[in-house]
Amino acid sequence: MAIYLITVRLQDPPLSCSSLSPSGGLYVLVIRLEAELRTERVALGPGVYLYIGSAGGPGGLRGRVCRHLRYTGKVRRWHIDQVLGAGMLEGVYVLEGVSGVKAERGLAEKLASVLPEGAERFGNTDTGGPSHLLRMRPGVDLRSLLGSGWSYVDLSLH
């Protein structure tokens, strides 16, 4: 079994989705699939995946991240909803105050330079560039890869 380093600095207080800003930002969902997932859009094996997104609309990060945390009664609007429905959302990294197509694509390019695509052209129809669904690799420290300014949403509070 592979070991993934998904680290959180202990001095950073964990956040809950309701404590997030209603302003825009970037986010990275950390999703674990225990079993294979096959849909018309993706074929994913078991493992840990990262989904890159931007929250610039109404509700900002709070609205978008809280929406991703709701499983029951949620309209399956985006392809990521199918992945979330089959997997377990383990955590979310957020960067407040930075959003938009250019920032989202830049983050996808940065992470894709180190991590393989989970599914080709997933979630990038508005930004182009690399897939926004990447497969985590053993030994990669996501917190260090993201850089400064990112906060972790502790899902154990939900």
pTM score, whole prediction: 0.82
Q: How high is the pLDDT of residue 1?
A: 39
Q: How high is the pLDDT of residue 130?
A: 84
Q: How far, in Å, CA of 55 to CA of 100, rounded?
A: 8
Q: How high is the pLDDT of residue 135?
A: 94
Would you tell me how many other CB atoms lie within 10 Å of the CB of residue 151?
21
CB 107 within 8 A of CB 134: no
The pLDDT tens digits of the residues spanning 106-150 come to 999 999 999 988 877 676 666 667 888 999 998 999 999 999 999
Is the predicted pLDDT of residue 3 greater than 70, yes or no?
no
What strands, in cross-sheet order, belong to the sheet with 25-33?
133-135, 47-55, 25-33, 88-96, 151-154
What is the average per-residue pLDDT within 17-45?
Answer: 87
The pLDDT tens digits of the residues spanning 67-113 come to 777 654 455 666 788 888 888 888 889 999 888 889 999 999 999 99
